[in-house]
């Protein structure tokens, strides 16, 4: 959702902290924002690092823990 956020002028996004892999996740998000990594590839990399399934429901007006594919 980073490109959609950028398009509407969002300047700050919060990453939900987790007890492990945060440096790697921050690096992946930075790579997407700098154009070095496509969002789809970033999601694949991050999925292996997250303790639970990804969620973006709130962004799409759905329950927050749900997932809406791009």
DSSP letter (8 states) at residue 58: G
The pTM of the full predicted model, rounded to 2 decimals, is 0.80
Q: Decide if pLDDT at 70 tops 80.
A: no
Burial class (CB in 10 A: 0-12, 13-18, 19+), 32: buried
Q: Per residue in 33-46, is it b (16+ CB within 10 Å) or e — as a string?
A: eeeebeeeebbebb
Question: Quick one: pLDDT at residue 32?
Answer: 94
Dihedral sign from CA coordinates of 16, 21, 27, 29:
negative
The string of pLDDT tens digits covering residues 14-63 is: 888 889 999 999 999 999 999 999 999 999 999 899 888 888 899 999 99
């Amino acid at each position: 959702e980073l490109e959609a956020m950028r398009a509407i002028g969002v300047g700050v996004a919060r990453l939900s902290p987790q007890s492990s892999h945060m440096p790697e996740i921050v690096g992946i998000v930075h790579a997407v924002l700098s154009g070095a990594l496509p969002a789809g590839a970033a999601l694949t990399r991050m999925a292996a690092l997250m303790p639970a399934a990804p969620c973006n429901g709130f962004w799409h007006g759905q329950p927050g823990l749900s997932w809406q594919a791009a």
